[in-house]
Amino acid sequence: MASVEIDDVRKSFGNHPVIKGVSVAIEDGEFVILVGPSGCGKSTLLRMLAGLEHISSGEIRIGDRVVNDLPPKERDIAMVFQNYALYPHMTVADNMSFSLMLAGVPKAQIQERVKPAAEILGLSSLLERYPRQLSGGQRQRVAMGRAIVRDPQVFLFDEPLSNLDAKLRVSMRTEIKNLHQRLTTTTVYVTHDQIEAMTMADKIVVMHDGIVEQIGAPLDLYDKPANLFVAGFIGSPAMNMLSGKLDEADPSRFVTGDGIVLPAPPGIASARGKELVYGIRPEGVSLGGTVDLKVQVIEPTGSESQIVALLGKTQVTCVFRERVMLQPGEILNVSIDPRAAHLFDAKSGMRLTD
């Protein structure tokens, strides 16, 4: 196991910059997820960690070694790709053993490593099968098994669950997290799915267009997004956002562009006079109160009611634990806890609340 340091790393393809100065410190044993929209540079950054892509400038350290110029096989990492890249003509056992065989590890020793890895992954009874005889989830596990037997310093995963159906994705999420808790190998995991990031990571790195928008523990990002991008990206349904300003005479009142008054979070002198965006998560709205919503769509999930409604002219989404029996077009009275509200500078996008 090892720490990983990414220090002001940049990458251009031709003269097109793709990674624009990224720094991330990953502790030994940590499970870190790089998340961001498609095309933001996640795979490129991961491939640079793996040594599959040269870096244009900056430094990458694994443990106490600078690995900028080390070839992949000398970096002591194991990577699991989105398409698994299994060898179709080899059995599960051979797929898992192959890299060790190439490295000249004696046969008996290979057996000793494959057996427990297969057990951990529930593959023991499938060792003689070929990839085409496996389900998507089983193939995914073989790809992980191949990484595990190498006992690397660092695991790298690039969207390993995106080829699986929704239900399997959820159970594999749990399996991978459980596996990390057992092996405690430093892991860097790439996904575009913020739920995957929230549920699995010790630490999330939110990327956007080649830069890091914010780094933090999942709930810290959720509770205190540093800017509008992170606020909109993390959380599902997404945070509701309303444009407006604080009332000049009474800064405890936020007034939207269409004149609706909402309770402002306390004590943010820096917000006065500015064009603002008021953010409130769907569960930050409660039933009963003086704010009127005009109901558009009610989506009961059984455990919750999700309501899409108009607040003035802005469409908002609310999630209530209670069952709401209303028809579209009816008015729903709600309240907003000002401590659950976020204020952002509309121009810079930066968070103003603590």
Ligand X SMILES: Nc1ncnc2c1ncn2[C@@H]1O[C@H](COP(=O)(O)OP(=O)(O)O)[C@@H](O)[C@H]1O
How far, in Å, are 129, 238, 262, 342, 345 from residue 228 at the CA level?
49, 11, 19, 10, 9
What is the nearest approach in angstroms of ligand X to the Cβ of residue 16?
A: 7
Both tokens of 126, joined, read 């499938």
Cβ distance to Mg ion smaller for residue 158 or 213: 158
Q: Which of 41, 137, 225, 279 touches ligand X (CB under 6 A)?
A: 41
What is the nearest approach in angstroms of ligand X to the Cβ of residue 294?
A: 38
Cβ atoms within 10 A of the Cβ of 157, count? 25
Longest dimension (CA), the chain: 79
> Who contacts 351 (Cβ-Cβ below 8 Å, separation ≥6)?
224, 225, 226, 227, 231, 342, 343, 344
Cβ distance to ligand X smaller for residue 41 or 216: 41
What is the nearest approach in angstroms of Mg ion to the Cβ of residue 347?
A: 31
Contacting range for ligand X; rule: CB under 6 A; set: 25-33, 37-45, 59-67, 231-239:
37-45
**At 312, which amino acid appears?**
G
- Smallest CA-to-CA distance from 188 within 10, 19, 29, 346 is with 29
Contacting range for ligand X; rule: CB under 6 A; set: 34-42, 72-80, 236-244, 275-283:
34-42
Cβ distance to ligand X smaller for residue 38 or 125: 38
Cβ distance to ligand X smaller for residue 36 or 284: 36
Three-state DSSP state, 42: helix
Q: Which of 8, 12, 13, 109 touches ligand X (CB under 6 A)?
A: 13
Question: With CB cut-offs between 5 and 8 Å by kind, which of ligand X, Mg ion, none does residue 87 bind?
Answer: none
Both tokens of 3, joined, read 């720490």
**DSSP code, position 70:** -
Q: Which of 42, 75, 180, 342 touches ligand X (CB under 6 A)?
A: 42
Q: Does 40 bind ligand X (CB under 6 A)?
A: yes
Q: Which of 26, 43, 80, 173 touches ligand X (CB under 6 A)?
A: 43
Q: Does 185 bind ligand X (CB under 6 A)?
A: no
What is the nearest approach in angstroms of ligand X to the Cβ of residue 345?
A: 27
Q: Does 43 bind Mg ion (CB under 5 A)?
A: yes
Cβ atoms within 10 A of the Cβ of 167, count? 9
Distance CA 174, CA 170 (A): 7
The secondary element (H helix, E strand) that includes residue 349 is none
Number of residues that bind ligand X (CB under 6 A): 10
Cβ distance to ligand X smaller for residue 13 or 87: 13
Contacting range for ligand X; rule: CB under 6 A; set: 32-40, 105-113, 232-240, 315-323:
32-40
Q: Does 18 bind ligand X (CB under 6 A)?
A: yes
What is the nearest approach in angstroms of ligand X to the Cβ of residue 210?
A: 7
Distance CA 31, CA 297 (A): 38
Both tokens of 156, joined, read 């790298």
Cβ atoms within 10 A of the Cβ of 275, count? 13
Q: Which residues bind Mg ion (CB under 5 A)?
A: 43
Question: Binding residues for ligand X, per CB under 6 A?
Answer: 13, 18, 36, 38-44
